[in-house]
Each structure stands twice: as structure tokens, then as C-alpha cells.
Amino acid sequence: MAGNTTNPALEPDTDSPIGPGLEFAQFAAGCFWGVELAFQRVEGVVKTEVGYSQGHVPDPTYKLRGDVGTQYRSGIYYYNQEQARLAQETMEAKQKELKDKTIVTEILPAKRFYTAEEYHQQYLEKGGGQGSKQSAAKGCNDPIRCYG
């Protein structure tokens, strides 16, 4: 009997938002702790969760990832065509501002999202590895210190 030949990590993400009028978004931008804290501070963001997506390994863990390579690329991963259009338009406008520098952020459909281990969630807000809590208050613009 043949086994399942599909890789769940390559499938579209099928999660649903937690309430009406809300949307999911997936972003990649290097160290997920700092990116999460930045989004926690944005008005209108009701929940953040760090994890893994756009890879080829089902149920990845932090130890599988390492600290170098394509897992640190920047990306916007959309759930619908309106998100794709807005991401593309925003990137094109920013590219015009930058002129001679090239934006390398990828814009692709969201693949399955795997939530990272619990200790990674809201890591910098909880104090990170050094016990120095950082504010996740909406509108806060304190510098973000990303550390392990």
C-alpha cells in the first residue's frame, strides 16, 4: 500500500482568524522575537504568534533551523488576493523610494504555519534570556533589543 506522498509543510495554511473582521498575516524578517515584539506594538494587531512556515520539513523545531540560511529571509505570505495586491503595491512604492537599492522580500501564498515552542512566544516581552522585559504596549517605540 502506497503511503501519503504529499508534504503537509508545502500545503496552503488553512487556519482561520479568531473573530469576524480579522485577518491572518504571515511575515518573515530574521529573528522572530524582535519581529514579534514590533508587531505586538502595532495598533490593530490583536494576537501574535511566532513559528515556522515556507519550509519543507513538517513539524519543524528551532533546533532544526539553525541561525543562518534562507530561514532568515524576509517575506510577506498572503492568505488572499487582496493581501497579495496590497503587499505588491507597498513593496513597489518602497522600491521607488530606495532607488538604487533592491528589495529582496518575497511575496508568496502562505504555506502551513507551525507554531514555535511555547518559550518562544512573546519572548522579549517576558524578558528573553537576560530577564530584561521589553514593552509590548501599543504605540511603544522603545528600541527593540533582540537577544537569546
Please identify every residue annotated as catalytic.
Answer: 31
DSSP state of 46: -
User: According to DSSP H, which parts of the chain are helical?
Assistant: 32-40, 62-65, 81-98
∠137-35-73 over CA atoms, to 5°? 170
131 SS3 class: coil
Cβ pair 65, 9 in contact under 8 A? no
Cβ pair 138, 46 in contact under 8 A? no
